[in-house]
Amino acid sequence: MALDKPYLDIPGTIIFDADQSRKGYWLNQFCMSLMKADNRARFKANERAYLDEWPMTEEQKQAVLARDLNWCMRLGGNIYFLAKVGATDGLSFQQMAGSMTGMTEQEYRDMMIRGGRSVQGNRYLGEDGDAQPHRQPQGRNAQSDQKGGA
Amino acid sequence: MARITASVYTSHVPAIGAAIDLGKTAEEYWKPVFAGYDFSKQWIQDQKPDVIFLVYNDHATAFSLELIPTFALGTGPQFTPADEGYGPRPVPVVFGHPELASHIAQSVIQDDFDLTLVNKMDVDHGLTVPLSLMFGQLDAWPCRVIPFAVNVVQYPVPSGRRCFMLGQAIRKAIESFDQDLNVQIWGTGGMSHQLQGARAGLINAAWDNQFLDRLIDDPTGLSQVPHIDYVREAGSEGIELVMWLIARGAMADVAGGQKPTLRHRFFHVPASNTAVGHLILENATT
C-alpha cells in the first residue's frame, strides 16, 4: 500500500515526507555540512567543487547553484536544511521564504506587515487564491513574465 | 515533591532571537512583539522556577536525516547553543537536570511512551529563543532546563492526541519526583506560518486565535484536530503547534484538578514569516 498523503491537494506546498526525504537525502546532508564555519568557507571558495564531494544528482547541484529553493524542494530538499545554504549567503528566513513566491523582497515583507497571505482560496488546489499554480509568479514579476506558470 | 506550577506557550521565531542579539528590540517593527512579553518577564522573575521542561523542535540542527527521533528527552548535564549557519547565538549554555530527566524517562517510558534519550546535543533557536523572550539577555540562565525535542520536520509527526497524552504522562512523572522543585512546562513553536513554496507567508489569525481559545478551555477537543487541518489552515510549518498540547496535557485540570488561571495572552502578526502567539497558564496552588 502506498503512503497515504492527504496533503497533496494543498496548493504551493510540498510536505517533507519519507519519499521526499529519501529523494533529498544527500542534498539535505550537504546542507547540514554548512553548519561548520570551515565548510562554509570551502563551499564559498568553490561551490561546484564542494558540491562534487557529495553523491547528489546533477540536477540537485544545479538547483543549489541557482539558489532556486522551489527547485531544491521538488528534488527532496527541506526548508530547515536548505536554510543552511541561505545562512551561508547571509539571508534571513524571510528572504528565503519570499524568494519562493516570485515577489520581490520588499513586496513579500509588505505582505507580511499587512497580515500575511490569506488562506482564502489557498486551501485546496483548484481554488483561486494567490498561491494557486495558475497565478504564479506573484508580485510585480507577474507582469514581466507573461508566460506565467511555475 | 516536585510540582508543575505553570505552563508557558510561545512562538520561537529565529528572527526574534536575531532581533535580541543585534539590539533591534526597540525598532518600530519589533516593539509590539517584545511588548507582548513585558508582563511575562516580570511574572517569571516572581515565579522563580527551578526547572523548565521545554518542549521544542530541532530544525535540522542536532538531528540530520541520519537520525529522526519522534520524542527526544535531554538527559545530559548541559547543552550548547548551536551554530545554525550564522554562527552560534550569543546566549548562555543550557544546564539540564539529569536526575529529574532520568526520573521522567523511567516513568514515561514505563507509561508506554518510547522516548529517545539524548545525553549530547546542541540546542537551536527552537529552545533558546523562548528562553531569551522570557528572561532577556543574561550571562547565565537562572534555572535548569530539560530539553524535549519533537519531530515536526519530517512527516509523519506525532498527532495532537499523542502529544496531549504524553503531556499527561510527563505530569505524572514530574509530580512523583521526590525533590521539592518548582517546575514549569513550556510548549513552543507556531503559530500559523509557511516557509515554503508559492504559499509561503500564509497567516491565519482567525484559526490561531481559535486555537488559543480551545487550548485554554477545551484542550481535549483541540487534541483531536488532525494534522491535515494544521497544514491546510495554519501552513506547513504551523504543524509545530501540536507541541503546545504536550505542555497543556501536563496541567492539573487534565488530571482532574482545578482549571488553570490564564495569566497572560498575546497575539501579534508578523514576526518575519510568522504569527506570534503567547499564553501563560498557572495551576492553582495547593
pLDDT digits 0-9 by tens, B29-49: 999 999 999 999 999 999 999
Q: Which domains does chain B have, with CATH numbers?
A: 3-282 (3.40.830.10)
Indicate the residue type of B139.
D
CA distance A55 to A53: 7
Percent of chain A with pLDDT over 70: 95
- Closest approach of A24 to chain B, Cα-based (Å): 10
Closest CA to B17 of B131, B139, B96: B131
Contacting residues of A for B155, CB less than 8 Å apart:
7, 15-18
- Residue of A100, A103, A104, A134 to mutate, interface with B, max B Cβ within 10 Å: A100
Burial string for B195-220 (b: 16+ CB within 10 Å, else e) reads bbbbbbbbbbbebbeebbebbbeebe
Asked whether residue A149 carries a pLDDT value surpassing 60, the answer given is no
Burial pattern B90-121, b for ≥16 Cβ within 10 A else e, equals ebbebbbbbebbebbbebbeeeebebbebeeb
Distance CA B203, CA B24 (A): 24
Mutate which of A15, A44, A96 to test chain B, going by most B C-beta atoms within 10 A? A15
Measured CA angle at B249 (ends B248, B250), to 5 deg: 90
Q: What average pLDDT does chain B have? A: 97
Give the per-residue pLDDT at A54: 98
Class of residue B33 by CB neighbours under 10 A (exposed 0-12, middle 13-18, buried 19+):
buried
pLDDT value at residue B285: 87
Shortest CB distance from B270 goes to which of A34, A73, A112? A112
User: What pLDDT score was predicted for residue B145?
Assistant: 98
Structural domains in chain A? Answer: 18-85 (1.10.700.10), 101-122+129-143 (no CATH)
The H helix count followed by the E strand count for chain A is 10, 0
- The pLDDT of residue A144 is 55
When pLDDT is averaged across residues B66-73 and rounded to a whole number, the result is 98
CB-nearest to B201 from A15, A37, A97 is: A97
Active site residue B193: yes
Cα(B9)–Cα(B12) distance, rounded to whole angstroms? Answer: 10
Query: Under a CB-based contact definition with an 8 Å cutoff, are residues B164 and B245 in contact?
Result: yes
Average pLDDT, integer, range B233-248: 98
For the segment A18-37, the average pLDDT, to the nearest whole number, is: 97
3-state secondary structure string, B86-135? CCCCCCCCEECCHHHHHHHHHHHHHCCCCCEEECCCCECHHHHHHHHHHH
Q: Is B97 a catalytic residue?
A: no
Nearest chain A residue to B226 by CA: give it: A6
pTM: 0.96
The alpha-carbon gap from B193 to the nearest alpha carbon of chain A, in Å, equals 9
Residue of B nearest to A40 (CA): B85
pLDDT tens, position by position, B79-100: 999 999 889 999 999 999 999 9
The burial class, CB within 10 Å (0-12 / 13-18 / 19+), for B267 is middle
Question: Which chain B residues are closer than 8 Å to A6 by Cβ?
Answer: 227-228
User: What are the Cα distances from residue A134, in Å, to A124, A125, A127, B47, B108?
Assistant: 13, 10, 10, 53, 49
pLDDT value of position A142: 76
- The predicted structure's pLDDT at residue B286: 65
Complex ipTM, two decimals? 0.94
Q: Which residue has the cell 546532508?
A: A29
